Amino acid sequence: MMADRGTSSLALLVSIIDQPAETLRQVAASPRRRWIAPLLLSLASIGVFLGLAAPYMQKMAEQAARLQLSTMPAEQAAAAEQQIARFTSLPMIVGSGAVTSVIGVLLSWVIAAALLYFSCLIAGEDITFEQMIAIAPWLWLPFALQGFVQAAWVAATGQMITAPGLSALVASGDQMQDARSLSFALLSRIDLFAAWHVILVYAGLRGLTRMRAPKAITLTTIYAILSLAIRLIPTLIGRAFTPG
């Protein structure tokens, strides 16, 4: 146990690549302040991405706003134009993007920990919610790396990734239509970073419990399905409140 406490967070960030199960076991065994390193990486990822992508996000928001205004009667369009201009301003884009991203990350940690904890509880495993919430930020490291990769793409190409993950397979090219598409939303969540996240979930289950591989695979699969289903909720809400 003393060796676990003596392992630095930097060393754990390295070892999670080749020894994920042992790394997550150490995090759960000595969780104090272990959340700081993954949190800082996640915040840095959000900051770098927004810093590079915000101007392009603003252009996309303005294009979507103009398209929406074109469908309104002239009087309504004139009344809404000033308000839309305020919501598509660069400070608003950066501010709202930062707030929603940070809240989204924190909520994702809690939801992931809850899903894994109750799955293990139902499966008869002896584990605590504190252990799950301790490893949740570390399970999200692939998505922090994803932010840096997407930022590098924006910097290199000068354009946003409009069809992330496997969503290019069903993308129509119409942003409004794709935003309402459940298949687009689902496939956009499936990529190498999501696969790495799922692998870390499996490793966490094996590292924190003594469950056999088939049982861990089953719980990991259930987690992946439920996680994807939860991520479709914003699209379902959008479909309910937009015509078409």
Degrees to nearest 5, angle at CA 148 with 88 and 159? 45
Task: Quote the pLDDT of residue 244.
Answer: 53
Task: Quote the pLDDT of residue 196.
Answer: 97
The answer to whether residue 9 sits within a structural domain is no
Give the number of domains in the chain: 1
CB atoms within 10 A of CB 34: 20
Task: Quote the pLDDT of residue 74.
Answer: 67
The answer to whether residue 6 sits within a structural domain is no
The answer to whether residue 171 sits within a structural domain is yes
Q: Which spans in the chain are helix H? A: 2-6, 9-18, 20-29, 36-70, 74-87, 90-122, 129-139, 141-157, 175-180, 182-188, 192-208, 213-231, 233-241
SS3 211: coil
Task: Quote the pLDDT of residue 13.
Answer: 93
CB 24 within 8 A of CB 16: yes
Main-chain dihedrals φ then ψ at residue 33, nearest 5 degrees: 65, 5
Task: Quote the pLDDT of residue 85.
Answer: 73
Task: Quote the pLDDT of residue 164.
Answer: 92
Which residue range forms the structural domain that includes residue 174? 22-241
The answer to whether residue 169 sits within a structural domain is yes
CB 237 within 8 A of CB 54: no
Task: Quote the pLDDT of residue 95.
Answer: 93
The answer to whether residue 12 sits within a structural domain is no
Q: Taking each helix axis from N to C terminus, what angle separates 36-70 and 129-139, rounded to the nearest 10 degrees?
A: 60
Task: Quote the pLDDT of residue 179.
Answer: 79
Q: What pTM was computed for the model?
A: 0.87
The answer to whether residue 227 sits within a structural domain is yes
The answer to whether residue 107 sits within a structural domain is yes
Distances (CA, A) of 191 to 110, 128, 147, 167: 22, 30, 13, 10
pLDDT along the chain (244 residues), means of 10: 62 93 93 91 96 89 73 67 76 92 95 95 92 96 96 93 91 80 92 97 93 95 95 82 58
> Distance (Å, rounded) from C-alpha 230 to C-alpha 235?
10
Task: Quote the pLDDT of residue 6.
Answer: 61
> Distance (Å, rounded) from C-alpha 184 to C-alpha 192?
17
CB atoms within 10 A of CB 219: 22
The answer to whether residue 200 sits within a structural domain is yes
